[in-house]
């Protein structure tokens, strides 16, 4: 365990070097739930909703890409991915993340799956280790129609880069309390979380939270009044409010007003990001996650936070365009409303050998560029279609290259879990052309010349295999 004692600039310190987040563009207006269910309950605000072509893995990919916008690619030792709702069991989801981010083969990729506590666990262990780690967490929250989980949940992902260098925050202490009690649970394969009576969960949560806070402060010789910010994750809003009362003088993160709901495993990270974007140097942040026990991490901001571009990545994403998701569409995406399937043959099962042969293309959107004439190709070519030179291509990643819609068609007949399919040809800045699907787009507002960004999505699932590939989505930032 590194002590990070030297913050005087002579010894490189270890801590969180950079962060990223992703909130899906889809928004469900909560008032629509009441209109459809006619249950007399009033609901206000909007919750972020992962689209039909997003899963916890693709959300994490986007959060990591958001992180890489703020920092040059580091020499990573490992990428760790945690979620309570993994796209695959047995097979690694971190491997998909690793490949989609086009990370070097030598970077280890590990999953921390299943429980809500994995998220804070992966962050705490990374902060206490010596390896340079990309720590990604994501969650998609489900609930039965009309339930509090449906209304109070949110879908999101976060990413933190932990390593040695010029950190935004350094760890000052850790405490954990592990306890076995039944608050929230879900059997494998079940779509929604079950929970015991609210009051029981509240009492158990507050009890372990109090214990973790005391254990942490005692170990570092500080008083509650020495804590500037308190971040609480893993519990419902009302419970978090009661936990906040344990350190009433600590400031709470505030977020974009349009985003409501708790993003489960990603919530602690989202709130920590909100604090980092608002904090001053030399402030103490107590991160507390309550889930089958409690974990407390004390972080201290460095001068580096004042150099943050104040880019407020969450606000930026919300202002980058959101899309209204009708309640019926949301229910059918979540398997709560079974609709008549498209009258087309089911898509074929993706081929494992083909995916392996073209891994960098399929997962990393890596095309090729001819070294003789500079022409760029997607998918990668061996022989240049322009100058005819053979075997002189170099790999060229297009994932982060801005593009524009050259032409598009709206297809109501093609197979899609959420028709219509919008097929487009996009032209990349600097050359390269790709026929692909568009997503997060309102067909009515689409135009030729529309600026787009590539995004990693799940095209469909067939034969128990997720077919991941890249789509383009509107992006007005360029
Ligand atoms: Zn050429």
Residue with tokens 């390896």: 131
Tokens 């609901």 belong to which residue?
Answer: 43
Residue 268 in contact with residue 297, Cβ under 8 Å?
A: no
- Per-residue confidence (pLDDT) for residue 319, from 0 to 100: 67
pLDDT at 3: 47
189 conformational bin, left if phi > 0, alpha if psi -120 to 50, beta if neither? left
**Is residue 94 helix, strand or coil?**
helix
Q: Cα separation of 33 and 36, whole Å?
A: 5
| 258 pLDDT tier (thresholds 50, 70, 90) | low
Tell how strand 451-462 and strand 376-377 pair up. unpaired
Nearest CA to 262 out of 150, 181, 147 is that of 150
Q: What pLDDT, on a 0 to 100 scale, did the predictor assign at position 1?
A: 38
- Residues 25-47, mean pLDDT to the nearest whole number: 91
The Å distance, Cα 372 to ligand 1 centre, comes to: 5
Ligand 1 center to residue 433 CA distance, Å? 15
* Predicted local confidence at residue 284, as pLDDT: 98
What's the 434 CA to ligand 1 centre distance in angstroms?
18
- Span from the CA of 377 to the centroid of ligand 1 (angstroms): 10
Neighbours of ion ligand 1 (CB under 5 A): 370, 372-373, 375, 384, 386-387, 389
pTM given for the model: 0.94
157-203 per-position pLDDT tens digit = 999 999 999 999 999 999 999 999 998 899 998 888 998 888 898 99
**378 Cα–ligand 1 center, Å:** 13
User: Higher model confidence: residue 237 or residue 305?
Assistant: 305
Write the CA distances from 250 to 172, 224, 225, 257, 287, integer angstroms: 17, 8, 7, 21, 11
Task: Please give the average per-residue pLDDT across 363-392, as a whole number.
Answer: 94
Q: How many Cβ atoms sit within 10 Å of the Cβ of residue 357?
A: 11
pLDDT at res. 261: 72
What's the 373 CA to ligand 1 centre distance in angstroms? Answer: 4
Over residues 113-152, the pLDDT tens digits come to 989 999 999 999 999 999 999 999 999 999 999 988 898 8
Taking the centre of ligand 1 as the mean of its atom positions, its distance from the CA of residue 386, in whole angstroms, is: 5
Say how many Å lie between the CA of residue 370 and the centre of ligand 1: 5
What percentage of the chain carries pLDDT values higher than 70? 95
What local confidence, expressed as pLDDT, does residue 2 receive? 42
> What is the whole-number distance in angstroms between the Cα of residue 322 and the centre of ligand 1?
40
**C-alpha to C-alpha distance for 307 and 311, rounded to whole angstroms:** 11
How many angstroms separate the alpha carbon of residue 358 from the centre of ligand 1? 21
Phi-psi sector, 143: left (phi>0), alpha (psi -120 to 50), beta: beta
Q: Which tokens is 211 given? A: 């214990």
Mean pLDDT (whole number) for 84-94? 96
Mean pLDDT in residue range 197-215: 94
User: How far does the chain reach from its first CA to its final CA, in angstroms?
Assistant: 43
- Could you tell me which residue, 338 or 109, shows the higher pLDDT? 109
Q: How far is the CA of 398 from the centre of ligand 1 (A)?
A: 18
Ligand 1 centroid distance, CA of 362 (Å): 23
Cα 385 to averaged position of ligand 1 atoms, centre (Å): 7
**What separation in Å is there between the alpha carbon of 376 and the centre of ligand 1?**
8
CA 396 to centroid of ligand 1, rounded, Å: 14
Residue 455 DSSP code: E
Judged against a pLDDT cut of 60, whether residue 7 lies above it is answered with no
- Residue 405 CA, ligand 1 centroid: distance in Å: 24
The pLDDT assigned to 279 comes to 94
Q: Are strands 451-462 and 403-411 parallel, antiparallel or unpaired?
A: antiparallel
pLDDT value, residue 322: 82
The DSSP secondary-structure symbol of 246 reads T
Interval 398-425: pLDDT, tens: 999 999 999 999 998 887 878 889 999 9
Cα 125 from chain centroid? 19
For 277-323, write each residue's pLDDT tens digit.
999 999 999 999 999 999 999 999 999 999 886 656 777 776 667 88
| pLDDT for 6 beyond 90 | no
The alpha carbon of 72 and the centre of ligand 1 are apart by a number of angstroms equal to: 30
Query: Rounded CA gap, 278 and 308, in Å?
Result: 10
Q: Which runs of E-coded beta strand occur in 166-251?
A: 169-178, 184-185, 194-195, 229-233
pLDDT band at 476 (very low <50, low <70, confident <90, very high): confident
Distance from residue 431's CA to the centre of ligand 1 (Å):
12
Of the candidates 420, 411, 478, 412, the one whose C-alpha atom is nearest the C-alpha of residue 449 is 478
CA of 384 to the centre of ligand 1 (A): 5
What's the confidence (pLDDT) of residue 256? 63
Give the span between the Cα atoms of 8 and 246, in whole angstroms. 33
Q: Give me ligand 1 centre to Cα 365, in Å.
A: 20
Q: Which of 64-78, 81-95, 155-169, 297-311 has the lowest mean pLDDT?
A: 297-311
What's the mean per-residue pLDDT of the chain? Answer: 91
Per-residue model confidence (pLDDT) at position 10: 57
* Cα–ligand 1 centroid distance for 427 (angstroms): 18
pLDDT at 4: 47
Determine the average pLDDT of the residues in 224-238.
93
CA distance 47 to 30: 7
């Amino acid at each position: 365990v590194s002590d990070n004692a030297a913050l005087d600039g002579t010894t490189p310190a270890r801590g969180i070097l950079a962060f990223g987040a992703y909130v899906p563009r889809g928004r469900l207006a909560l008032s629509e739930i009441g209109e459809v269910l006619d249950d007399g309950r009033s609901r206000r605000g909007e919750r972020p909703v992962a689209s039909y072509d997003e899963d916890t893995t693709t959300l994490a990919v986007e959060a990591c890409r958001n992180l890489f916008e703020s920092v040059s690619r580091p020499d990573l030792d490992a990428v760790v991915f945690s979620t309570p709702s993994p796209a695959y069991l047995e097979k690694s989801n971190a491997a998909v993340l690793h490949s989609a981010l086009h990370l070097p083969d030598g970077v280890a990729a590990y999953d921390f799956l299943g429980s809500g506590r994995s998220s804070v666990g992966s962050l705490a262990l990374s902060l206490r280790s010596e390896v340079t780690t990309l720590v990604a967490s994501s969650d998609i929250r489900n609930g039965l129609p009309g339930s509090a989980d449906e209304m109070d949940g949110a879908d999101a992902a976060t990413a933190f880069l932990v390593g040695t260098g010029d950190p935004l925050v350094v760890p000052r202490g850790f405490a954990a309390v592990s306890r076995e009690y039944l608050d929230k649970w879900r059997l494998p394969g079940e779509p929604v979380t079950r929970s015991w009576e609210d009051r029981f969960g509240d009492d158990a949560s507050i009890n372990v939270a109090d214990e973790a806070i005391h254990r942490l402060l005692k170990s570092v010789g500080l008083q509650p009044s020495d804590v500037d910010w308190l971040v609480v994750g893993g519990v419902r809003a009302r419970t978090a409010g009661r936990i906040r009362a344990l350190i009433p003088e600590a400031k709470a993160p505030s977020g974009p007003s349009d985003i409501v709901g708790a993003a489960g495993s990603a919530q602690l990270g989202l709130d920590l990001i909100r604090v980092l974007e608002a904090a001053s140097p030399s402030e103490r942040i107590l991160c507390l996650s309550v889930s089958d026990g409690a974990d407390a991490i004390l972080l201290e901001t460095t001068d580096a936070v004042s150099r943050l571009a104040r880019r407020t990545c969450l606000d930026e994403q919300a202002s980058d365009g959101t899309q209204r998701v009708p309640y019926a569409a949301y229910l059918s995406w979540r398997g709560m409303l079974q609709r008549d399937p498209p009258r087309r043959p089911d898509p074929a099962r993706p081929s494992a050998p083909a995916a392996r042969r073209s891994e960098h293309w399929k997962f990393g959107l890596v095309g090729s560029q001819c070294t003789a004439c500079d022409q760029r190709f997607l998918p990668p070519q061996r022989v240049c279609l322009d100058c005819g030179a053979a075997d002189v291509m170099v790999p060229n990643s297009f994932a982060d290259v801005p593009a524009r819609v050259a032409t598009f068609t709206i297809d109501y007949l093609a197979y899609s879990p959420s028709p219509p399919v919008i097929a487009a040809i996009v032209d990349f800045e600097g050359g390269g052309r790709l026929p692909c699907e568009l997503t997060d787009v309102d067909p009515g507002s689409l135009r030729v010349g529309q600026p787009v960004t590539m995004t990693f999505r799940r095209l469909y699932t067939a034969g128990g295999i997720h077919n991941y590939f890249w789509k383009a989505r509107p992006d007005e930032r360029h």
